[in-house]
Amino acid sequence: MRAWLIPDLALLVAAVTLAYCLALWDGAQRLFRDADSGWHIRTGERILDTRALPRSDPYSLTRRGQPWFAWEWGADVLMGAVHRALGLPGVAWLYALALAASVWLWFRLHWLVRGNFFIACLMAAPMLSTTNLHWLARPHLLAWVLLLAALSYAERAGGRFRLKDAVWIIAGSALWANLHASFFLAPAIALLYAAAHWLRPKIWRLDRAAELARARWFLCAAAASALGTLLNPHGWRLHHHVAAYLSDSELLSRIGEFQSFNFHAEGAGQILLAVALAGLGTCAALAERRLSHFLLLALLLLAALRVARGLPVLALAGLPLAGGAITAALKRAACGADLSAAVKRGFENFFRYSDRLRAIDAGLHGAALAPVMALLALLWVRTPAMAARAGFPASEFPVAAAARLEQLLPNVRLLSSDKYGGYLIYRFAGRLPVFFDGRSDFYGAQYMKQYARLVQVRPGWRRQIEQYGFTHALLPNDYSLAEALEAVGWKRIYRDHVATLLARP
């Protein structure tokens, strides 16, 4: 009974993360600082209403009716259902729970790879700071949970590949494929582990039969995972769509999330520390013959340095593996004959004390407290004060201007920024077609080029205004296009500290 009522370190930090996100960090608003949450919610509600997936675009002003791939429909339905039941506070609660679950799994993965208690505690700060870059109410937070669960399952793998393994892997991969586009990581990780175990006896003197048996297990897991990803409404076409999207360099070069992170930015020190720890862990993993961890860490490091979106994944999936390898390397170094007696004694005391703490921690889990924490978090976001604050921040989105825009419907052809698109889809539930939103795979690189030429007031921008027949424009105050439109006669009918609403003369 004691174990059920006293939380271990993993649950304790997960609870602190949940409380911090919702109470101190103001997650009820800051989780919605990306407008894409808006169209995900409305798409989910549309699917619930029609009981069918959308096959054509229902939101765009210029591309309405064209084929559209709702590739994260499962997450959309989940968000739509929670929104209908609990509103935006409920959506914030859902994703705060996903963050807490990710933290819990992060610590559990540390213990599976035999990481040190203190090293895991030290790595928690840069992990949280790095993942905070993408603390957003979007489906990728659900994918973080599945990624850590997949790695934890891989670390427990061994023996013969059983029917139970196949069922779990197929079910988990199918769930992932219907929630988020990163589902390809599941079979990719299994293939990487298979290759590592096949190579290990070729590099080092190891039990060849045992290593090949594990390689066969992971090959079977990769096949089962690949089969599971096909269990989605789109079938293999989902894989083709994701591959085409991720291989379109011209398109990705215009999306901020796929650009390299600016390590000179304010507060980047913790993120740089996470990258450094992962790099150190990569070297330690190779030295400790943990080839699968070395290969995975190396790939995650490359991805994180190339695209900012890879940094949270590196912190979540890479730091536990790095922690386990660094722990093993330090223990090996502590046995070195050339160490001074004082240093060796320090190592011994460090590991002895941390191992005792880990032994105590391993006897606890606090599972009975987890639903209580989730319920308390829900009650918190549903209090009148928090519920009133929940939603898209009025300091970043045209919340007040939308009320003025409501009076002008339905005879509006609106020019607005891509940042506002998802919010306007949510605010008007699709009643107001938007010029551009965050579905970059739907619009494509050429459309994004035209949009950039227009908002940057480059030659030909007036011809584009005429071509699309805009009657109104809702633009951030710092957009030069707003001044350009006023200069050619458009009338300002509303302005606040965020946005300007203009009408064509």
Asked whether residue 145 is domain-assigned, the answer is yes
Is 349 a member of any domain?
yes
In a domain, 35, yes or no: no
**CB-based contact 53:70 (threshold 8 Å):** yes
Domain boundary among 316, 346, 362: 362
Q: What is the total residue count of the chain?
A: 505
Flag whether pLDDT at 337 surpasses 80. Answer: no
* pLDDT beyond 80 at 107: yes
Indicate whether 484 and 346 sit together in one domain.
Answer: no
User: Buried (b) or exposed (e) across 418-450, using 16+ Cβ within 10 A?
Assistant: bbbbbbbbbbbebebbbbbbbbbbbbebebbeb
Q: Of all residues in the chain, what percent carry a pLDDT higher than 90?
A: 92
| Whether pLDDT at 232 is above 90 | yes
- Confidence band, pLDDT 50/70/90 cuts, at residue 471: very high
Residue at 220 is within a domain: yes
The pLDDT, as a whole number, for residue 131 is 97
Q: What is the pLDDT of residue 338?
A: 81
Same domain for 454 and 351? no
> What is the mean predicted confidence (pLDDT) over 84-105?
98
Reported pTM? 0.96
What are φ and ψ of residue 439, in 5° steps?
-80, 70
Same domain, 296 and 415: no
d(CA 423, CA 437): 9
Residue-level pLDDT at 339: 85
**Residue 9 in contact with residue 362, Cβ under 8 Å?**
no
- Backbone angles phi and psi of 438, in degrees to 5: -80, 5
What average pLDDT does the segment 423-447 reach?
Answer: 95
Average pLDDT over residues 60-79: 95
Q: Is the peptide bond before 476 cis (omega within 30 degrees of 0)?
A: no
Burial label, 234 (beta-carbon count in 10 A; 0-12, 13-18, 19+): middle
Residues 325 and 433 in one domain: no
Average the pLDDT over 198-224 and give the result: 96
pLDDT at 464: 94
471 and 322 part of one domain:
no
Q: In terms of domains, do 321 and 424 share one?
A: no
Residue appearing with tokens 């009650």: 379
Whether 174 contacts 228, CB under 8 Å = yes
If DSSP codes are grouped into helix, strand and coil, which group holds residue 60?
A: strand
pLDDT band at 341 (very low <50, low <70, confident <90, very high): confident
- Domain finish residue from 362, 391, 425: 362
Predicted local confidence at residue 197, as pLDDT: 97
At 286, the pLDDT band (50, 70, 90 cuts) reads very high
Which residues does residue 414 pair with via DSSP β-bridges, in sequence order? Answer: 472
Rounded to whole angstroms, how far apart are CA atoms 93 and 259?
Answer: 29
**Is residue 60 included in any domain, yes or no?**
no
Do 267 and 351 share a domain, yes or no? yes
Q: Of the candidates 341, 362, 383, which is a domain's last residue?
A: 362
- Report residue 81's pLDDT band, with 50, 70 and 90 as the boundaries: very high
- Arithmetic mean of pLDDT, 278-298: 98
**pLDDT tens per residue, range 404-421:** 999 998 889 999 999 999
For residue 454, is it within any domain?
yes
Of the pLDDT bands very low, low, confident and very high (cuts 50, 70, 90), residue 302 is very high
- What is the tens place of the pLDDT at every residue in 252-262? 988 888 999 99
Residue 178 and residue 299 share a domain: yes
- Taking residues 316-321, what's their average pLDDT? 98
Contact 175, 183 (CB under 8 A): no
Closest residue by Cα to residue 279 from 330, 307, 314: 314
User: Same domain for 170 and 269?
Assistant: yes
Average pLDDT over residues 223-243: 97
pLDDT in tens, 138-169: 999 999 999 999 999 999 987 889 999 999 99
User: Tens digits of per-residue pLDDT, 175-199?
Assistant: 999 999 999 999 999 999 999 999 9
**What is the per-residue pLDDT for 463?**
94
How confident is the model at residue 273, as a pLDDT?
Answer: 97
Tell me what pLDDT residue 159 has.
81
Share above pLDDT 70 across residues of the chain, in percent, rounded to a whole number = 100
| pLDDT of 267 strictly over 90 | no
Whether residue 178 lies inside any domain: the answer is: yes
Average of per-residue pLDDT across 100-126: 97
pLDDT at 256: 86
| Total domains present in the chain | 2
Query: Same domain, yes or no, for 200 and 319?
Result: yes
Tell me the average pLDDT across 350-358: 95
- pLDDT value at residue 266: 87
Average pLDDT of the segment spanning 124-142: 97
Residues 283 and 333 reside in one and the same domain: yes
pLDDT higher than threshold 80 for residue 486: yes
Whether residue 433 lies inside any domain: the answer is: yes
Range of the domain at 417: 399-503
Domain identity same for 350 and 467:
no
Q: What is the reported pLDDT for 419?
A: 93
Token pair of 439, please?
A: 């579905």
pLDDT average, residue stretch 327-344: 88
